[in-house]
Structure 1
Amino acid sequence: MGFLFQFPFAVVHVFLLLPCSSTAVLDAVTPTQPLIDSDGQTLVSKDGTFELGFFTPGPSSNRNRYLGIWYRNIPVRRVVWVANRDTPATDSGSSLSVDTGNRSLVIVSSNKSVTLWSSNATASSNHLVTSLVAELLNTGNLVLRDQNDTSNSEEFLWQSFDYPCDTLLPGMKLGWDSKSGLNRGLTSWKSPDDPSTGDFRWGIQVQNNPEEFMWKGSERFHRSGPWNGLGRSGAPELRDNPVFSYKFVWNEDEVYYQYELKNKSLISIVVMNQTSYLRQRLAWNEGSQSWGLYASVPRDRCDNYATCGAYATCMVSESPICECMKGFKSKSPEMWEMAEWSQGCVREKPNNAEGFVRYSELKLPDATHSWVNKTMSLGECRNKCLQNCSCTAYANTDIRGAGSGCSIWFADLIDMKMFSTGGQEIYIRMPASELGMYSRVKEQGDSNICRKEDLELPLIDLHKIVDATANFSDSNKLGEGGFGPVYKGVMADGQEVAVKRLSSDSGQGLKEFKTEVILISKLQHRNLVKLLGCCIQGDEKMLIYEYMPHRSLDSFIFDKGRSRLLDWGKRFDIICGIARGLLYLHQDSRLRIIHRDLKASNVLLDRELKPKISDFGLARIFGGDNSEGNTKRVVGTYGYMAPEYAADGLFSVKSDVFSFGILVLEIISGKKSRGFYHSDESLNLIGYVSTSC
């Protein structure tokens, strides 16, 4: 999944499977074949994955009997659904049968005098039902259907998936169906030994912009954030990945959330924990033969609902974790000092102007008091907000592509969490007096580098980089160049990054740092490395790039073992990729850019061995028709420098082309330009190639 949260393993309701000498396995329950508890009968899905039967939770002194579903071939029973959770039988004489008159399933007591539980037909049928049958599907869904109706195999008179208990299985829907009036949500067990309805719930609130909530009783304690086309705005790490796929459907007929397992051999479920404020994803570990905790929500204090109150952002890595937004102040400074932030913040000045400030990387605020239009553009959304003096903020509802849709807030902005990356943009209404003062830059002086010239490059706090790199541990060091050391880091949300740290004794300084920030933040090409942010704090100056798992090209072509991974087709693709990136710099970008330090160690390889040109600290920008320059300070790497540049300081696009030619020779030959020596003819690499052709 790409992330793993560590939490103390909470209590979940599991029971040892006890052997039953007279167990009888059924493949269906019919009007003439009930499922009888005293006979030890169970109903099993066709593939043998799930089993339905009567059970007693907890100690042997507990006499209550329930009808439930569990995974059949797992030695530690984990009940995923209970029919009569609030009306248990008190002995083993009860049974599950089909009631043809009411077209339902019923659990009756031992003397058949008391109906303990009954299903209601969910789907309406226009034809005469002639042969009712109850089956347990391979998904774990208990269904009641007409055995003779072959017109629609997916239409059931009733199904357990419409009435979940505390567990969400793959393929199960969490949410509303307007046609049937169903509201599918999870409710915890009362205790590990008592499956009756507990206090904790998880469901979808559908008014305005739908989003998931968790409640204890009527009190909210967690909110997911609205779905933004890719995932929940409050959980940017929960997006489609090699293990899970996530789905959120929102139309006039239904609103629901659903997940699927891409690898069907895996077993993973989502459970509302009965003893704490937690929703947990559990996974079955075949090696340890136990259920393990994969992830849990809320993950931290900032995941708790409205921790910081109104108009404040929460970031768990900060101290304090709550901060008023620009133009706002704490409503109760005394309580704020005592680390009690729930009263939130208030505006410092009246909101009497028509202006907005953009905030990025946020969990969008509570959408209960909002308005939504799925077809508006962001510009139309802004105008709509300006037309209503009660509007406090606006944002896109869908962030895929260029963004689309409009969400407008009309009340205080509550429950906002700040992420290092992956959050969403929102535009918050501000007085004119605040608009000119606003800046996301907290540091003065050199920190403006990352914000000037409309770069809007995210600033990342130093302590986050320290945490991500394990305090710049040697084990995370990827290498070192003229700029300084480069470290691998893993951000709090699981994103892998490469951190270039400017060394105090580096041959490059603030000028080169500025050049790289200005250039790479404006350049967008698949063969150029992507800059994610920068960090300027005290004497520290760092650039944070996307992480390239295969590192630099030189680690492949000059290594006897790894070079075997590069066949001629792959080497040709790498050469073409570098050429495309260089062509973009020289001709296709808005400004002509000369790299001046193109070499194998400055070409990075992604997971698919696609090349990306990096390290723009020595680059030069030319406007108009200018394409060459002169310098007294010759910088770069000997062996790759064009003769006129090394001797006289003259550089142009031809200088980069010369470096590219050397690089092509290295890729083909696997030999370094610097250090190559042919003993017979005393030639370097380029001389040897020229005499051999």
Structure 2
Amino acid sequence: MNPVKWLLYTLLLFNLFQFSTSIDTITENRSIRDGEIILSGGKVFALGFFSPGNSAKRYLGIWYNQILEKTIVWVANRDHPISGRSGILSINGQGNLVLFQGNQSTLPVWSTNVLVTSLNDTVAQLLDSGNLVLSQNGSENMLWQSFDYPTDTMLPFMKLGLDRKTGLNRFLSSWKSPDDPGTGNYSYRIDPTGFPQLSLYKGSDKWWRTGSWTGKRWSGVPEMAIDPVSNYNFVNNQDEVSIMFVVTDPTILSRIVVNESGMQQRFTWNRHENKWFRFWSALKEQCDYYNHCGPNSNCNPYRSDVFECTCLPGYEPKYPREWYLRDGSGGCQRKLGMSTCQNKEGSVKVARVKVPDTSVTCVDMSLDLNECEIKCLSNCSCIAYTSAYSESNSGIGCLTYHGDLMDTRTYTNAGQDLYVRVNVAELALHAKNGSLGKKKIVAIVISSSVAILLLVALVYGFYRRKIKVSISTFTSSTFLDVSLSGKDQDGNRRNTDLPLFDFSTIAAATNNFSIENKLGEGGFGSVYKVVISLLKSLDLNLFSELSCLFLT
């Protein structure tokens, strides 16, 4: 065996059996010191002391026990490291888990700090889920759990979100660096306002959104639609708003992490290659960054040959110069004269998008999509709407927008449909460009076709009347009395729609008024057939009208 692998396996066995500490509980009579660990019942997770990266500081944490590459999933004293290997974890006289550095008579470095009414048989147990639970021995009354205070990692069966009754808010926060698990600059939490959504924050600023919950997944995480091993549970009621995922196969190890660079990543463990496989990650492209194209815009990363930012229907760039220099941060504003409270208004569908930030929406879960449209168009302040849950054909719930539309982006095979309110002129424009729904397109095409047919009928009637007038003019005696100068008998220039020809041209066209070209005669004189090839000086475009007068 390779010496390096032999050493790693030896260290693993040492961790499994050192000090015979393979138990999964800590009691008032059983503490652990630096160098000792406890294991969950199925030996999936371990709890003990560690030093991250190149740091010499010591932390109490939980990691995967059977993975040689130590992967930390929880840290107790992340902002209060211990110097040296003097750490002790125990249960004190008040029934709390406490972490001391050195002498236990000093103030603890970290504590669960909960009120324990009964001090009998308080125990802390590490579960195979990776959850460290403090409870009364033999009781289901849980006093405290590490899942309520996550660090940078979300595990299966862990909830993220807000307990509306207690105010407890569970969220992830990044490490400061690979060598420092202290609270970093990025956090991943549910925003409970409007229609709840998960967001990644850089400090207090939104950095990325998952989009709203569609009924089965987050609209801004397309990979969730093809996740074969996980089920998701989203809860939004008067008691809590939370998200939890479970893995259908308990042998699969999976985790969601916010790293120190501001990346949101989902990993699964590949047992064949012994490494973590990244299933999906966020902030892969410019359109992932929150509001990259500014308000009232849509970011489309698939427009590789042009600017990824476009204005939503009815909007135009707020700063055209910067926009056309490919700086979309200023966003878009309503087109000049684009009122949204007129007759004959409608909506233009923007398909397959992460719908705008839902933290500012008005929510009515009793309406379907059709009812949602009626509600929006009847309120002058409503500028867009969408379904809350879009997994059904008619949609469930109604989200309406009444201000700027923030952070919209396009997907090829995911997202939801957003409907933006516009006036009749904008409706016609988007019908021409093919961006309206089928019913609206059919209505506009039918009305346009009727208008075109009426116009054609009017033109045809005018043309036939013109031809009749022209024939009458040519068959009148005045036609033969036209002088070479184009003037009538009174010396005034004629105003006719037909071209005038001198006598020599007509004589040539009739072969000098040959008897062979004579067609007959009537009350106005003789009528002759014109030989077309002889009218060499005649423009053929004008000749089309004359042909029906001289030829039979």
Describe the shift of the 1:17–1:206 C-alpha distance in structure 2 as closer, same or farther (beyond 3 A).
Answer: farther
Task: Confirm or deny that 1:89 pairs with 2:82.
Answer: yes
Task: Confirm or deny that 1:382 pairs with 2:376.
Answer: no
Match of 1:35 in 2: 32
Match of 1:327 in 2: 314
Match of 1:141 in 2: 131
Match of 1:338 in 2: 325
Describe the shift of the 1:448–1:412 C-alpha distance in structure 2 as closer, same or farther (beyond 3 A).
Answer: closer
Q: For 1:438, what is the secondary structure of its paired residue?
A: helix
Question: Which deviates the most, 374-383 or 305-314?
Answer: 374-383
Describe the shift of the 1:449–1:130 C-alpha distance in structure 2 as closer, same or farther (beyond 3 A).
Answer: closer
Task: Confirm or deny that 1:418 pairs with 2:410.
Answer: yes
Aligned mates of 1:440, 1:213 — CA distance in 2: 37
Amino acid at match of 1:74: I
**8 Å Cα contact 1:108/1:115 also seen in 2:** yes
Task: Confirm or deny that 1:351 pairs with 2:340.
Answer: yes
Describe the shift of the 1:440–1:313 C-alpha distance in structure 2 as closer, same or farther (beyond 3 A).
Answer: farther
What TM-score, normalized to structure 2? 0.72
Amino acid at match of 2:90: S
Match of 1:53 in 2: 48
1:371-429: per-residue Cα shift (whole Å, max 9, x none)?
A: 11212233332333244322211111112323121111111011111122332122212
Amino acid at match of 1:28: T
Aligned mates of 2:145, 2:282 — CA distance in 1: 28
Aligned mates of 2:96, 2:378 — CA distance in 1: 54
Aligned mates of 1:448, 1:288 — CA distance in 2: 49
Aligned mates of 2:183, 2:356 — CA distance in 1: 30
Q: Pick from 160, 166, 170 the counterpart of residue 184 of structure 1.
A: 170
**8 Å Cα contact 1:441/1:448 also seen in 2:** no
**8 Å Cα contact 1:441/1:451 also seen in 2:** no
**8 Å Cα contact 1:329/1:345 also seen in 2:** yes
Task: Confirm or deny that 1:306 pairs with 2:301.
Answer: no
Give the drift of 1:129: 4.8
Q: How does 1:108-119 map to 2 (within 5 A)?
A: 108-112=100-104, 113-119=106-112
Question: Which deviates the most, 423-432 or 321-330?
Answer: 423-432
Amino acid at match of 1:33: R
Match of 1:68 in 2: 61
- Percent identical residues: 37
Aligned mates of 2:437, 2:382 — CA distance in 1: 31
Aligned mates of 1:277, 1:378 — CA distance in 2: 36
Match of 1:397 in 2: 388
Match of 1:99 in 2: 92
Q: For 1:357, what is the secondary structure of its paired residue?
A: strand
Give the drift of 1:68: 0.3
Q: How does 1:234-273 map to 2 (within 5 A)?
A: 234-239=220-225, 241-273=227-259
Q: How does 1:284-299 map to 2 (within 5 A)?
A: 284-299=269-284
Aligned mates of 1:67, 1:93 — CA distance in 2: 12
Q: Pick from 193, 196, 208 the counterpart of residue 207 of structure 1.
A: 193
1:201-222: per-residue Cα shift (whole Å, max 9, x none)?
A: 1111001100011111112110
Aligned mates of 2:82, 2:167 — CA distance in 1: 29
1:642-684: per-residue Cα shift (whole Å, max 9, x none)?
A: xxxxxxxxxxxxxxxxxxxxxxxxxxxxxxxxxxxxxxxxxxx
> Looking at both structures, which has the greater relative contact order when contacts are Cα pairs under 8 Å and sequence separation is at least 6?
2
Give the drift of 1:289: 2.0
Aligned mates of 1:455, 1:108 — CA distance in 2: 76
Q: Pick from 113, 118, 122 the counterpart of residue 120 of structure 1.
A: 113
Amino acid at match of 1:359: V
Give the drift of 1:36: 1.5
1:10-33: per-residue Cα shift (whole Å, max 9, x none)?
A: xxxxxx967569544132101111
Match of 1:626 in 2: none
Give the drift of 1:80: 0.4
1:545-590: per-residue Cα shift (whole Å, max 9, x none)?
A: xxxxxxxxxxxxxxxxxxxxxxxxxxxxxxxxxxxxxxxxxxxxxx
**8 Å Cα contact 1:24/1:42 also seen in 2:** no
Aligned mates of 1:310, 1:53 — CA distance in 2: 48
Match of 1:406 in 2: 398
**8 Å Cα contact 1:178/1:252 also seen in 2:** yes
Aligned mates of 2:307, 2:416 — CA distance in 1: 22
What's the RMSD between the two structures over aligned residues? 2.6
Q: Pick from 203, 213, 218 the counterpart of residue 232 of structure 1.
A: 218
Aligned mates of 2:440, 2:381 — CA distance in 1: 31
Aligned mates of 2:124, 2:179 — CA distance in 1: 28
Q: Higher helix proportion, which one?
A: 2
Give the drift of 1:363: 1.1
